[in-house]
Structure 1
Amino acid sequence: MLAIFRKTLAHPPQELNSPTISSKPPRPSKLPDEILTAFNASHPVTAFAATFRGGAALSSAGGDFNRRRLFCALDDIYCVFVGCIDNLSSLIRQYGLCGKITDEALLVLEAYRTLRDRGPYPADQVVKDFQGCFAFVVYDNKTGTVFAALSSDGKIPMYWGIAADGSVVMSDELEIVKGGCGKSFAPFPTGCMFHSDGGLRSFEHPMNKMKAMPRVDSEGMMCGACFKVDTFSKINSMPRVGSAANWASWEDAH
């Protein structure tokens, strides 16, 4: 799984950029086209990619015995998904989608559409209802919105970083992000979700703010920061998502 978004689409956290305080030259980062080419080359038979005029690209490769990989599109909304949702059948019934949904990626798209257009539930509760091990990235090409989440169990990894032009890169493959983003990368925090307007939040502890933690690699060089839940800092109010307007203004709650 690979997702790349121009910084004006995703608005990545500034802390992901590696500080240039070392005398040792950092590993150079790459441009988005180079990163996408490297990912597709590492999966020459199964890789499938989609690029968009707004500065977005999604790519997915075939699944293996350990990780199921899915790619789907619905009404100009796109999703790359890795893993599985154990309660898929019950969620299909909950959303009234019997006979329409066949896999997890399509369920994620339907859940996103419900949240964006008419959903009465806050986004953190919807993602928390997904039981299983998963990582996904949604791109809404109509609104230029990015939405990503990683399950809390830690069985599926996801990494994110900053490319040479400032674009944010997300992938479940460490070497792709590490090779494309130089030192400006970090693990995506488990149990968290990211919205291009609302930023990074925990869906396990939605009342707590996130904080950036300095990260040093094995060579002693500063890298992109890790993010963790701040157990001492609370969000003043809980946002609720019931329309396209307040979904897009998720950041008002921060």
Structure 2
Amino acid sequence: EDECPSHPRSMVVVDDVFCIFVGTLENTCDLRHHYGLSRQATEAMVVVEAYKVLRDRAPYPPDQVIKDLEGKFAFILFDARAGNLFLARDRDGCVQLQWGIAGDGSLVCSDDPKIITEACGKCYTPFPPGCIFMNGTGLISFDHPLHKVRAIAREDDNGNISAVIFQVDLYTKLHSIPRTGSAANWAGSTVVEGE
């Protein structure tokens, strides 16, 4: 009803994967070709297919999937079979996407400010641009996937939290795969057995 003409909204359900996509992709033709989709495939269908590649070909990093999307977009994807929630917003934050906590403790996500205000009251904030959220891994910057994304609370004069912003902490790296192999073992002493 309140859809913005410059950021159209589309919804698709494929194999129990629900996707609401807002905005446009500039490289839809390339992505259709990459994922083997027909010319009629919408941007939401492309996102569902990208998610399926991520889900089915693990450990494919989610930031690599999203980096391929060029344009002004935000999406909410839910995989009913796996119970996975996947959200993303473009680097520039051109498309609105809010998220917050409802009174019953559930997560609410929407591009409509009225919906988010009614559901969450004041307990919401803009979803950070250039980030993805998956319920298994948390919030990640797709430009800096090895660095932690921190929530920073803003307080009013009375000490009440008035807003939360998210920022990539370029000084704190996330844990990655430990190194193994010959370079990791050279520092150890050599023990010769048998004599």
- Using the size of structure 1 for normalisation, the TM-score is 0.65
192, 200, 224: which is aligned to 2:131?
Answer: 192
Partner of 2:186: none
Larger Rg: 2
Which amino acid in 2 is paired with 1:204?
A: D
Following superposition, the deviation at residue 219 of structure 1 comes to: 8.8
Residues 111-120 or 163-172, more deviating: 111-120
* Identity, % of aligned positions: 43
Q: Quick check: 1:71 aligned with 2:11?
A: yes
Residue 119 of structure 1 deviates from its aligned partner by 5.7
Q: Which of 142, 150, 153 is 1:203 aligned to?
A: 142
Secondary structure of 1:108's match?
A: helix
2 CA distance for matches of 1:183 and 1:198? 26
In structure 2, which of residues 75, 96, 99 is the aligned counterpart of residue 136 of structure 1?
75
Number of the residue aligned with 1:124: 63
Match of 1:243 in 2: none
Tell me, in whole angstroms, the C-alpha distance in 1 between the residues paired with 2:57 and 2:130.
Answer: 24
> Alpha carbons of 1:140 and 1:218: their partners in 2 closer, same or farther (altered >3 Å)?
farther
| Within-5 A mapping of 1:1-254 | 43=1, 63-97=3-37, 99=38, 101-118=40-57, 121-216=60-155, 221-223=160-162, 225-237=164-176
The runs of 5 or more residues in structure 2 that have no matched partner are 178-195
Q: Are the aligned partners of 1:136 and 1:150 in contact in 2 as well (CA < 8 Å)? A: yes
Shift of 1:221: 3.8
The one-letter amino acid paired with 1:107 is V
TM-score w.r.t. structure 2 length?
A: 0.83
CA contact (8 A) 1:70 1:81 kept: yes
Contact 1:147 1:194 in 2 (8 A): yes
* C-alpha distance in 2 between matches for 1:77 and 1:206: 25
Pick 1 or 2: higher relative contact order, CA cutoff 8 A, min separation 6: 1
Q: Which runs of 5+ in 1 are unaligned?
A: 1-42, 44-60, 239-254
1:143–1:236 distance in 2 versus 1, CA, 3 Å: same
